[in-house]
Amino acid sequence: MSGCMGCGKCCTSFGVCVTPFDMRRLTRATGLAPLDIVMVIDEPPDRERAEPAILIDGLPSLLVLRWRGNPERRCMFYSGNGCMAYESRPMLCRTYPFRVENGKLLDFGSRACPRLWLPDAPKPYMDDFKCYLQEVEAYQKIAREWNSRRGGTLEEFVMFAMERAQTHPADRL
Q: What is the pLDDT of residues 119-163, one digit of tens each?
A: 888 888 899 989 999 999 999 999 999 999 999 999 999 999 999
- What is the pTM for the complete model shown? 0.89
Q: Is residue 29 part of a domain?
A: yes
Residues of the chain with pLDDT under 50: 1, 172-173
As a whole number of angstroms, the distance between CA 151 and CA 167 comes to: 22
Q: Is 27 part of any domain? A: yes
The confidence score (pLDDT) of residue 171 equals: 59
What pLDDT was estimated at residue 173?
39
Is 1 within the bounds of a domain?
A: no
- Give me the pLDDT at residue 68, please: 84
Work out the mean pLDDT of the chain and round it to a whole number. Answer: 88
Task: Say if 3 falls within a structural domain.
Answer: no
Chain center to CA of 99: 14
pLDDT at 139: 96
CA separation for the pair 56, 63 (Å, rounded): 10
**Structural domain count of the chain:** 1
Instruction: Specify burial of residue 168 (Cβ count, 10 A radius: 0-12, 13-18, 19+).
Output: middle
Short-list 46, 44, 54, 45, CA closest to 18: 54
Q: How many CB atoms lie within 10 A of CB 134?
A: 19
Does residue 4 lie within any of the structural domains? no
Residue 48 CB contacts under 8 Å (≥ 6 apart), including other chains? 108, 110, 111
Q: Is residue 2 part of a domain?
A: no
Range of the domain at 103: 9-172
